Structure 1
Amino acid sequence: MADGSVVVALLDGTLLDPAQPLLRPDDLGVLRGEGVFETTLVVDGIARDLDEHLIRLTVSAEQTGLTVPAPDQWRPGVQAALQAWTGGSQMVLRLIASRGPEHGSEPVCYVLGAELPMASRRQRRSGVRVLLLERGFTVAAATSAPWLLAGAKTLSYGVNMAALRHARANGADDVIFLDADGRVLEAPTSSVVLARGRTLVTPPEEAILAGITVRRLFRAAESAGWDVQTEPLTAADLWAADGVWLTSSARLLAPVVAIDGRPRADGALTGELHRLLDVPD
């Protein structure tokens, strides 16, 4: 059963009532945030970059020592959720694998669909005000300590959500994390991209989640004649850039219009980048 505005499906395609419990109270995803997930945008019934998200889900699971079903085993659940959806033209689709009870043998896996928040749609155009916050470790430390799971997309999102609450309590919308040496990392739910003239730059995939939307943007930008680069960045690079954006799989691309309370422009480039990414209205 599904009410159309929220849909839940098991991997075999069975639809569940979203108002009914699915996880046990002792599921380790609930107790300890143990599990992995992926999020992508569905536009007019088509899930963007689904193959890449299924692959990244598997990579995150491997990093956490969790065995999840193979990518193709998720597709019946995804298709069931897409067919059951009766909401708007843009749906946020989540693929979730919770570790399950401590003495269980398999994770609890399901597909969740919900309406894309209006704030995400609005920020694509109006932009986001960000604060720069230190994440508390260096890139080198995170790279040498795989148990920090810096490059995995896990259910343990407490720090990320706390950072967003801190931003909103201080007159901002979002955050860009820096490492302890001042290197630009990522945002709580987004990757960071900047422009220098006709060159797009993003930080290396070190101690951060590999950005699927960044990769898609860079492929399209190269085809359109842009140069693209991956290199370490600092706060000074953000200030000096012709434009700064946060990219993610649901909001897609939002211009940064202020950093630490100081306004900044996007170089009139956001519209062009939106077209490269096929950002819907």
Structure 2
Amino acid sequence: RRPNSATRATMASAVVARSVAPAVAPAAGPRARRGSRLRARTGQERAKAVAAGRSSGDTGDDAGTAARVPVLGAAEVHARLAERVHPKARDTYAAFYSSWAGCITTDPAAMVVPFDDHMVHRGHGVFDTAHVCDGRCHLLDRHLARFERSMRAAKLKPPAGQSQASMRAVILATIAASGLRDAQVRYYAGAGPGGFALSHDECVDSTFYVTVVAGRAAPDPNKGVAVVTSDVPIKPPEFATVKSVNYLPNAMVVADARERGADYGVWMTERGLVGEGPSMNLAIVEDGCLVTPPTDDVLAGCTVRRAMELIEPMGRDGA
């Protein structure tokens, strides 16, 4: 019978304990005792040096550094976070909503989420993004429909007291609070705080976050971008078709491309066909037609779908 995990852990602990347990030594002679006294003095000198390092502010000793870590209250922590707000945050992060706090803030130092939210430490969360152009949120309802599909796939529900309609209203309220007319609005649904286990059964309530950031300048369409096919494995279809916060593969695709002198990487499907980019859909103009990969293996893009809708009437008219 194979030992279960608890038995294996106990066996491993016993092995470690036996391996580090000191052997019983015979009675030490005069020379050994002198060596022991020397080691004791050396240990005392080391302790004095550590203490001196703590008092002098020497950061070379790990123990001294740990001893200087302050324990602060909420107000003091917020003050420190306010001091650490970087220029990108001040110039870009315009507004943030947290269902956990139940409010909108325009203070970047207060744009925080609970660390025990399963979205943070387990990646159990989904998100979506829409653009604000001249004060109007482009294709918001279409993006929200995809957001809802992602939530269902991830077994997530709106926070208590909220609905899909109220979440839409919160998104618009956060955009209004930002004061921006051209921006990007990103919204997230998380399993919520409650512990550090795997199951979301321990979460006390799901969470919903919205952030509005200043829009980035559009790239010059005349210059284009350099792309390479990526060796990073594509996500399985059941995960690739969900817009989750698990973006490590996406980040690795970009890192791999940059190391190879390109701007973006392109995922290939398991069948060796063109899939998608790390944050974009792909399309090819071939014989006067706009061709895109099917969405069976990749995320269904709202923008590329809208582009196809705009092109279809021209195709029917023979343009």
Asked whether the two chains share a fold, i.e. TM above 0.5, the reply is: yes
- Among 77, 82, 88, the residue aligned to 2:175: 82
The answer to which of 69-78 and 179-188 deviates more is 69-78
Greater gyration radius: 2
Residue 103 (structure 2) aligns with: 14
- Among 103, 117, 126, the residue aligned to 2:216: 117
Residue 73 (structure 1) aligns with: 166
Residue 238 (structure 1) aligns with: none
Q: CA deviation at 1:194?
A: 0.8
Q: CA deviation at 1:219?
A: 0.5
| Backbone CA RMSD of aligned residues | 2.5
Alignment of 1:132 with 2:235, yes or no, is no
Matches within 5 A, 1:94-113: 94-101=186-193, 102=195, 103-113=202-212
Q: CA deviation at 1:136?
A: 2.8
Query: In structure 2, what residue type is equivalent to 1:127?
Result: G
Tell me, in whole angstroms, the C-alpha distance in 2 between the residues paired with 1:226 and 1:162. Answer: 41
Residue 26 (structure 2) aligns with: none
Per-residue Cα deviation, 1:217-272 (whole angstroms, up to 9, x for no partner): 00000122379xxxxxxxxxxxxxxxxxxxxxxxxxxxxxxxxxxxxxxxxxxxxx
Query: In structure 1, what residue type is equivalent to 2:121?
Result: L
Q: CA deviation at 1:100?
A: 1.3
Residue 31 (structure 2) aligns with: none
Alignment of 1:193 with 2:292, yes or no, is no
Cα 1:112/1:124, change in 2 over 3 Å: farther
Asked if the contact 2:234/2:267 (under 8 Å) is kept, the reply is: no
Higher relative contact order (CA 8 A, sep 6+): 1
Q: Which structure dedicates a bigger proportion of its chain to strand? A: 1
Q: CA deviation at 1:35?
A: 0.2
Tell me, in whole angstroms, the C-alpha distance in 2 between the residues paired with 1:47 and 1:13. Answer: 23
Asked if the contact 2:97/2:209 (under 8 Å) is kept, the reply is: yes
Q: CA deviation at 1:43?
A: 0.4
Query: In structure 1, what residue type is equivalent to 2:209?
Result: Y
Q: CA deviation at 1:134?
A: 4.0
Aligned pair count reads 216
Matches within 5 A, 1:1-281: 5-6=92-93, 7-10=95-98, 14-16=103-105, 17-68=107-158, 70-87=163-180, 89-101=181-193, 102=195, 103-118=202-217, 121-136=218-233, 142-143=236-237, 146=238, 149-225=239-315
Tell me, in whole angstroms, the C-alpha distance in 2 between the residues paired with 1:109 and 1:184. Answer: 34
Cα 1:135/1:44, change in 2 over 3 Å: same
SS of residue paired to 2:146: helix
Query: In structure 2, what residue type is equivalent to 1:179?
Result: T
Q: CA deviation at 1:5?
A: 3.8
TM-score (norm 2): 0.62
Tell me, in whole angstroms, the C-alpha distance in 2 between the residues paired with 1:33 and 1:52. Answer: 24
Tell me, in whole angstroms, the C-alpha distance in 2 between the residues paired with 1:182 and 1:25. Answer: 39
SS of residue paired to 2:204: coil
Asked if the contact 2:230/2:256 (under 8 Å) is kept, the reply is: no
Tell me, in whole angstroms, the C-alpha distance in 2 between the residues paired with 1:80 and 1:4. Answer: 20
Q: Which structure dedicates a bigger proportion of its chain to helix? A: 2
Cα 1:116/1:185, change in 2 over 3 Å: same
Asked if the contact 2:92/2:213 (under 8 Å) is kept, the reply is: yes
Residue 233 (structure 1) aligns with: none
Cα 1:77/1:10, change in 2 over 3 Å: farther
Q: Percent identity?
A: 30
Tell me, in whole angstroms, the C-alpha distance in 1 between the residues paired with 2:233 and 2:254. Answer: 16
Per-residue Cα deviation, 1:128-183 (whole angstroms, up to 9, x for no partner): 11110145369xxx35xx3xx12100011011011111211221111110023311
Gap runs ≥5 in structure 1: 228-281
Asked if the contact 2:269/2:297 (under 8 Å) is kept, the reply is: no
Residue 264 (structure 1) aligns with: none
Gap runs ≥5 in structure 2: 1-88, 196-201
